[in-house]
Amino acid sequence: MPKQPDAVSGPGVRNLPGADFLDIEAQLDARERAKLDEVRTFVAEHVTPFAAAWWTAEQFPFDLLPKLGALGVSTPTRHGYSHLFHGLLIAELARADASLATFFMIHHDLFVESLYDFGTEGQRERYLEDAAALRTTGAFALTEPDHGSDVAKGMDTRARREGDTWIVNGAKRWIGNGTFCEHMLLWALDEETGAVRGFVLDTSLPGVSTSRIENKISLRTVQNADVVLEDVRIPEADRFPGIESFSDANQLLRSSRIMVGWLAVGQQLAAFDVARAYVLEREQFGRPLASFQLIQQKLATMLGNATASMALMVQIAHARAQGTERMDQAALAKAFTTERMRETVALGRAALGGNGIVTDHRMARIFADAEAVYTYEGTQDVNQLIVGRSVTGISAIT
């Protein structure tokens, strides 16, 4: 069997197994393995060397978008790739930079997928080609200043129809890509019927204003925005006719929640990569850190967490391939993998000692970024309650 792509070798060091300890990538077909290798080469050249500077400066790498678009990995399952490949793609992007993976998921797995799932033929003709190639970018505008987990029952953004135009007023918060995207999937309540509506919002329309959320400690490269909507006039032609209720949002969120599980896998792979390389090189008391029992215990726990998380996500990918995945399974996947991720990155940070808290070393960013991943796409508490409701038949969510 060939050496895994992420295996460790070098002068004086025998070949060591990679972080994909169960060789999950072997389940991909030849085309998928080649594409994943292409993505791995791409991020090694264009992302990993620069991600620290983007993160520290809170700057988004716009010049990367044409190159990322040219990879041809937008909505991969719609182009013949497997759900397992899709998950490993997200993990590989996150392994290089969680911010880049988050951008990718917001744009492709929420905005572009919404065009496929709910858009009209005319909407797809107008928006899909440019969005898939990253000539334009999209966002998913659901969360509000006063409504996060309870937005399904507490959405304040309102839309009122006047002829062939909708007048929208309200506010959204934490909208990733929101400071620069050309379009958003905007969610609002129909004032007349109370039904949930979805729109392709052109962010250049009068009445749309955005401002960046500053001073984040996590995913600093991601441009999260506060969005204010004041009498914004959206044409009926830009309403998604396939969106009628919040269950339609759940269709997208179920898939996105699963992808966050894969992102958590990527974070753990990154933490293991960085920690192992560090302890093999760093010496204390005249010996490599890797020779100490407690350091090896940390690495073994990190690898166990990553492997268990990946194995769970593989099974979810198989369920998706059969069309049998459920929201409670997605909630369990997100809750479990991010809980394991939180422990894994903490162990990795501890293995680096003081160097684990300075962003000159990747581990500090991996550690900080995990906090956002732990919270977004459904908080840990809410996802656990979704699972609890499923296994007891009793809802603890008021």
Q: Which of 245, 270, 291 is the last residue of a domain?
A: 245
* Shared-domain flag, residues 261 and 233: no
* Shared-domain flag, residues 271 and 358: yes
Q: Looking at residue 213, which CATH number applies to its domain? A: 2.40.110.10
pLDDT at 149: 75
pTM over 0.75: yes
> Which domain covers residue 236, as residue numbers?
138-245
- Count of beta carbons in the 10 Å neighbourhood of residue 2: 6
Q: Which of 187, 214, 245 is the last residue of a domain?
A: 245
Position 44 in a domain: yes
* Shared-domain flag, residues 177 and 292: no
- Structural domains in the chain (count): 3
Q: Looking at residue 63, which CATH number applies to its domain? A: 1.10.540.10
* Shared-domain flag, residues 261 and 387: yes
- Asked if residue 291 lies in contact with residue 363, where contact means CB atoms within 8 angstroms, the answer is no
Bridge partner residues of 172 (DSSP): 227
- Count Cβ atoms within 10 A of the Cβ of residue 70 and give its class: 0-12 exposed, 13-18 middle, 19 or more buried: exposed
Position 87 in a domain: yes
Position 71 in a domain: yes
Reported as a single tens digit per residue, the pLDDT across 165-216 is 999 999 999 999 999 999 999 999 999 999 999 999 999 999 999 999 999 9
Integer Cα distance of 361 and 355 in angstroms = 7
- Segments of the chain scoring below 50 in pLDDT: 1-7, 9-13
Helix (H, G, I), strand (E, B) or coil at 120: coil
Reported as a single tens digit per residue, the pLDDT across 108-149 is 999 999 999 999 999 999 999 999 999 999 999 999 998 877
- Alpha carbon dihedral 116, 122, 125, 126, in 10-degree steps, equals -110
pLDDT at 14: 59
pLDDT at 8: 52
Integer Cα distance of 92 and 90 in angstroms = 5
* Shared-domain flag, residues 72 and 26: yes
Q: Looking at residue 302, which CATH number applies to its domain? A: 1.20.140.10
Nearest residue to 98 (alpha-carbon basis) of 371, 340, 348, 380: 371
* Shared-domain flag, residues 73 and 199: no
pLDDT at 12: 43
Nearest residue to 86 (alpha-carbon basis) of 222, 247, 266: 266
pLDDT at 2: 36
* Shared-domain flag, residues 388 and 251: yes
Position 297 in a domain: yes
Position 397 in a domain: no
Reported as a single tens digit per residue, the pLDDT across 235-246 is 999 999 988 887
